[in-house]
Chains A and B, each alone.
Chain A
Amino acid sequence: MSGIPVRQAENPSTPTGTAMQIVVNGENTAVAEAISLSDLVDSLLLAGQRLAIELNGAIVPRSLWPEVRLSEGDRAEIVRAIGGG
């Protein structure tokens, strides 16, 4: 995969009532059907953190996270700032 250099993520906890597969940071992830990006962030225990999200290659502004719904096979990249030179 091109793009942001990766640090391998562990498998996130799977929310209950899962119905579809998406890919989050390169990891296959089961989530509830039509979950919103906000819900995804919550389910990954990332709420309140300073993040940016790219969905299928396009950045989704934070203000739109509550209304953007995910579909089967979507690819999300969730990034943050870490130490670097």
Chain B
Amino acid sequence: MHVIIDGQRVPVTEGMTILEAAEQVGIHIPRLCYHQSLTPAAICRLCVVEWEGARTLVPACVARVQDGAVIHTESERVRRARRTILELLASTVDLSEAPDLLAYAAELNADLDRFADGARREFPVYDDNPFYIRDYNKCVLCQRCVQACGNDMQFTYALTVSGRGFYSRIDTFYHAPMPETTCVFCGNCVAVCPTGALKEKGPFPSPQSPVLDARPSEP
């Protein structure tokens, strides 16, 4: 069994995803919500690739290989979708602490100010417990934290998605402060956050701590 990825013949096994198949031959497909320890949510759509014969692009993180499939990971159609998603994202939230995304954007020649005239998602920084802060101005809604808190790691279910559409947000149930939720402060959500929206405070304040630097300063 094999697939053709960007012209390369890649031997694969049943059940393998396109992302995994590409990785085998050193082709890196951009991704954001994907995390190797979590169930792929397939929602960021950065990992979309062109599968010859398919009506739409397909997300490489969940699409399973089929014998003889011809895949393009860098076609203009693919790059246009990725570039536009990053441009839209950059106009919505603060990506300054998401170096991977900024690197993808640079590679795709994305104009991160292209939609800067649009609404942003803005929140106060939630500092309601001794262990971590939540700065949803940097949240890209990858939902990794919700998954880590839920079925994929901790089975605690303190986090959920509330709201809808553009104004969706990661939240606690009834918007309760974290100490009043089922949160056990395991830290898994902080560990999987890709954009610096969740940050550990650390046991002691330290001058080197990037965490303290990231807290909002008084205006």
* A and B from one complex: no
Q: Report which B residues bind A (CB closer than 8 A).
A: none
**What residues make up the interface of A, taking CB atoms closer than 8 Å to B?**
none
